[in-house]
Amino acid sequence: MYFLTHVLLTYTLFQVAAAFKLPFHLPWVHAGLGEHEQRPMVLPPVELSNRIAVIGAGAGGSAAAFWISKAKERHGLDVEIDIFDSNPYIGGRSITVQPYDNPDLQPIELGGSIFIKANKNLWRATDEFGFNRSDFEDGESTMGIWDGAEFRLMTGFSKVGGWWDTLKVLWRYGWKAPTRTKSTVGSMIEHFVNIYTTGWGRTPYSNLTSLVERWNWTDITNKTTAEYFDEQGIDRKWTMEMVESATRVNYGQNADAIHAIEGMASLAAEAASQVIGGNWQLFDQFVKRSGASVYLNTTVSA
């Protein structure tokens, strides 16, 4: 039986939130604290022996287990963690496959394929777990936009995002659309990274709607990327070709259906990286380092 009191949940979320901001290791415990660093909160130990069931061993579940275990380590919290997943593997949507089981082909990352430096926890996990990142800067590649009948645009590029200011792009869409998009996406990321350092990012939230409200993002999550870009005075042709290519590649959705935050996230590909060998390895490490009991192939029905 999994017994989860309200009190435990509150403490756990609170302590996880405190642990979240800290480095994985605490070399500074006897040293001074950095500008944005906070001392762990000291909370009374929880008396009951408690278990937390995490359902799903994907990015969210594995990270939750990892951060709960950090809170446990730092605050003497007495909890045991069990992770369940109906799949036979860890990683959920993040999975790397060998096409046609043919070892001559490149393995393919099926979901959650890239992350950027602003994804601070993934970036840091890659470093601390000793994985190597592939940054797409090697080799020559070509970017093309195919509309089903012909290529609307074809351009060479050396890294993801690097084609934005090529002459062909400027010729087709003008100067304003790529420039405005870049600055709009840039401000979105600047606002986003506050979640790692500010109180409103670290305070527990019970649902995404309330987080989005606190983030002052309600007015851009309740409109589509296309509507939002129209408001910014960005040419529809650019939105329906360049932007929609990115929203389709990243999220399988169209620019006039996906909300503006996610549309902009799909354009935030500067310094896009992935873990060599597959991003799932990060989630695998989160689970291993959490010390949780793992139940794969296990469907939770109640």
Ligand X SMILES: *[C@@H]1O[C@H](CO)[C@@H](O)[C@H](O)[C@H]1NC(C)=O
Residues contributing to the site for ligand X (CB under 6 A): 88, 130-132, 200, 206-207, 209-210, 215-216, 218-219, 222, 296-297
Tell the smallest beta-carbon distance from residue 200 to ligand X (Å). 5
Tell the smallest beta-carbon distance from residue 211 to ligand X (Å). 9
Tell the smallest beta-carbon distance from residue 224 to ligand X (Å). 11
Residue 128 or residue 219: which is nearer to ligand X going by CB? 219
Residue 161 or residue 201: which is nearer to ligand X going by CB? 201
Question: 225 near 243, Cβ under 8 Å?
Answer: yes
Tell the smallest beta-carbon distance from residue 196 to ligand X (Å). 12
Instruction: From 190, 145, 184, 147, select the one nearest 166 (Cα to Cα).
Output: 145
Residue 187 or residue 209: which is nearer to ligand X going by CB? 209
Q: How far is CA 251 from CA 76, 85, 101, 110, 213, in A?
A: 40, 23, 25, 11, 23
Residue 165 or residue 219: which is nearer to ligand X going by CB? 219
Residue 98 or residue 299: which is nearer to ligand X going by CB? 299
Please count the other Cβ atoms lying within 10 Å of the Cβ belonging to residue 26: 14
Please count the other Cβ atoms lying within 10 Å of the Cβ belonging to residue 229: 25
Residue 245 or residue 273: which is nearer to ligand X going by CB? 273
Please give the Cα distance from 44 to 158 (Å, whole number).
54
Residue 130 or residue 139: which is nearer to ligand X going by CB? 130
Tell the smallest beta-carbon distance from residue 194 to ligand X (Å). 6
Q: Which long-range contacts (CB under 8 A, 24 or more apart) does 200-205 make?
A: 202/17, 202/18, 202/20, 202/21, 203/17, 204/10, 204/13, 204/14, 204/16, 204/17
Tell the smallest beta-carbon distance from residue 302 to ligand X (Å). 21
Per the rule left: phi > 0, alpha: psi between -120 and 50, beta: everything else, 23 is beta
Tell the smallest beta-carbon distance from residue 278 to ligand X (Å). 11
Please give the Cα distance from 125 to 251 (Å, whole number).
24
Burial of 207 (0-12, 13-18, 19+ CB in 10 A): exposed
